[in-house]
């Protein structure tokens, strides 16, 4: 649902890219917390194999520090808020608090659609 609402970003990006430089972007880069802004811009371009879609996650004190917010890079599959995705969780499935100096990036899960990709 969030992806659907945010997809206006991708539609507008395509429109402006065509208008300003007459073609699609080569690369789309998004900073991922929950992944909604990433899917918002990516959704419009998922079928375009010539557009590279790149996400960046917060590494915090490092991916091996246990203090980061890199759910795609270091998470494991689980269910949170009723959705299966990658999660920062311990061996018993309890959520591990993510860490980033970017408050909006501190989410222990990530979009199911990004997890599936
Ligand atoms: C600047 C910035 N980038 C990325 C994000 C993460 O957004 P999302 O949760 O849509 O992945 C946020 C969230 O607040 C943000 O403020």
Distance separating alpha carbons of residues 51 and 96, to the nearest angstrom? 34
* Burial environment of residue 77 by CB neighbours within 10 A (0 to 12, 13 to 18, 19 or more): exposed
> 59: domain CATH number?
3.40.50.1100
Q: Cα dist. 4→37, 40, 98, 99, 108 in Å?
A: 11, 7, 26, 27, 21
Tokens standing for residue 82: 């009723």
Stretch 3-15: mean pLDDT: 95
- Using the mean position of ligand 1's atoms as its centre, give its distance from the Cα of residue 102 in Å: 8
Number of domains in the chain: 1
Domain range for 89 is 2-116
Residue 91 CA to ligand 1 centre (angstroms): 27
At 47-100, the pLDDT tens digits run 999 999 999 999 999 999 999 999 999 999 999 989 899 999 999 999 999 999
Atom of ligand 1 at shortest distance to CA of 105? 6
**Residue 38 and residue 105 in contact, taking contact as beta carbons nearer than 8 Å:** no
Predicted TM-score of the model (pTM): 0.88
Q: Is the CB of 104 under 6 A from ligand 1?
A: yes
pLDDT tier at 28, thresholds 50, 70, 90: very high
């Amino acid at each position: 649902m969030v992806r659907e609402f945010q997809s206006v970003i991708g539609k507008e990006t395509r429109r402006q890219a065509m208008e300003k430089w007459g073609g699609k972007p080569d690369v789309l880069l998004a900073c991922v917390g929950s992944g909604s802004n990433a899917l918002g811009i990516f959704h419009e371009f998922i079928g375009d194999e010539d557009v590279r879609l790149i996400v960046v996650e917060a590494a915090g004190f490092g991916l091996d520090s246990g203090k980061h917010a890199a759910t795609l890079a270091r998470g494991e599959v689980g269910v949170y808020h009723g959705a299966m995705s990658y999660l920062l969780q311990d061996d018993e499935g309890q959520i591990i608090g993510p860490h980033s100096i970017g408050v909006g990036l501190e989410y222990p899960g990530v979009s199911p659609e990004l997890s599936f990709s």
